[in-house]
Amino acid sequence: MQRRRFIRLAGSALGLAACRPESTGGTAVPTDPPAKPPADPPLRAEPILLGGQAQKILILGGTGFLGPHLVDAARARGHSVTLFNRGKTRPELFPDVEKLRGDRDGDLRALEGRTWDSVIDTSGYVPRVVRTSAELLAPHVRQYAFISTISVYADTSKVGIDEDSPVATAPDPKTEDVPSFYGALKALCERTVSEVFPERATNIRPGLIVGPYDPTDRFTYWPVRIAGGGEVLAPGDPAYATQFIDVRDLAAFIVGALEKGHVGTYNAVGLPIPMGDVLTRTRAALKSDATLEWVDVKFLDDNKVQPWSDMPAWAPPVEGFEGFASVKSERAVAAGLTIRPVEDTVTATMEWWKTLPEARRAKLRAGITREREAELLAAWHALHPPPGKAGKKPGAKPTKKTAKNLP
């Protein structure tokens, strides 16, 4: 599978629908403008670095995956929060938080005449749309934090990607084809924010975001599967690294960056960690009796088991992807990013998972089914009988062919 498509899918599953206006199925009917509250007082005179003073924070979005954790983190630190969104996703959340209704693409009237100390943009995918809201807010907001992605990087073959590494580009900078040019468009959104908010823009580039409220199950698959016990198909060599960030650590870092006035670009990712460590620590945290059967990359390739989608949060370091799980985060750590233990993420994810309706828990949105797993394990054991009989040791070196199967 093509390299660009893997980068796009690996980084973009957090909700591309948020950038598309919803259709009612008929002709749009003009509506009267919403009633405006009294205009806010002028922007306060304090500098960006507020020295611990409570802020007024506007969140564009706020009810998806990252958004609720941002609200919790900001309020826990004494800040007041306003949410601006269409009211389509979980509008019942945060009944005591101010909510402004509108649309990023065409209806920003609710933001007019208002002032905030900072804005966090969790729902920007198209530069034109981001520019419109940024220009409207620039005279009335001190600092703009844009949530981007490590998918902006052009070359994932480089080990140790940092914030100065080249970013992807689109053949047509005016394109709004998000599925095809997700990373390149995010990079253009970053540039737009930095142009409109010179020396006042904070671009955050998370990696795979995991933890409670994750709608993708790209990490959740592993705690849920291991909690189920039995023999678990584990991918590739246990030493192959993965990289992710707990959504609560990301939210705390973003709020902290606003409090401290940090501007510039930051990779918000955890340290690379061997997949073997992730799964064994997950098993220990959940006190599971599951056993891990490590199946080599060639077998997965031959049986059309896809990295990332069928084997979530995992991709082998094949040619072109050697640096995919080695993104540097030293700049963010120096600015206050902290990373909690895997065990904390695992247990919190499972606690959240157990609160979901049975229908939601009946089918994971990532990973293979138990039936498919059983078929693969049976085929693997047929080729690799118990110790003492001929069999190939798992952990075979990945081949270039495997890269074609990356999602």
Alpha-carbon distance of 406 to 5, in angstroms, equals: 8
Contact 125, 175 (CB under 8 A): no
Q: What is the dihedral of CA 359, 72, 333, 316, to 10 degrees?
A: 10
Q: Which of 252, 270, 238, 269 is nearest to 342 (CA)?
A: 270
Per-residue pLDDT of the chain (407 residues; tens, 9 = 90+): 444 444 444 544 433 333 333 332 333 333 344 455 555 555 554 433 444 589 999 999 999 999 999 999 999 999 999 999 999 999 999 999 999 999 999 999 999 999 999 999 999 999 999 999 999 999 999 999 999 999 999 999 999 999 999 999 999 989 999 999 999 999 999 999 999 999 999 999 999 999 999 999 999 999 999 999 999 999 999 999 999 999 999 999 999 999 999 999 999 999 999 999 999 999 999 999 999 999 999 999 999 999 999 999 999 998 888 998 999 999 999 999 999 999 999 999 999 999 999 999 999 999 999 999 999 999 999 999 877 655 444 444 555 444 333 33
> Which tens digit of pLDDT belongs to each residue from 324-361?
899 999 999 999 999 999 999 999 999 999 999 999 99
Q: Which of 266, 280, 312, 290 is nearest to 407 (CA)?
A: 312
Burial class (CB in 10 A: 0-12, 13-18, 19+), 171: exposed
The strand pairing partners of 235, in sequence order, are: 295
Alpha-carbon distance of 56 to 202, in angstroms, equals: 17
Q: Which of 301, 291, 314 is nearest to 239 (CA)?
A: 314
User: What domains lie within the chain, and their CATH numbers?
Assistant: 3-18+39-405 (3.40.50.720)
> Which tens digit of pLDDT belongs to each residue from 107-151?
999 999 999 999 999 999 999 999 999 999 999 999 999 999 999
Task: Extract the tokens encoding 323.
Answer: 């640096």
Residues above pLDDT 70, as percent of the chain: 82
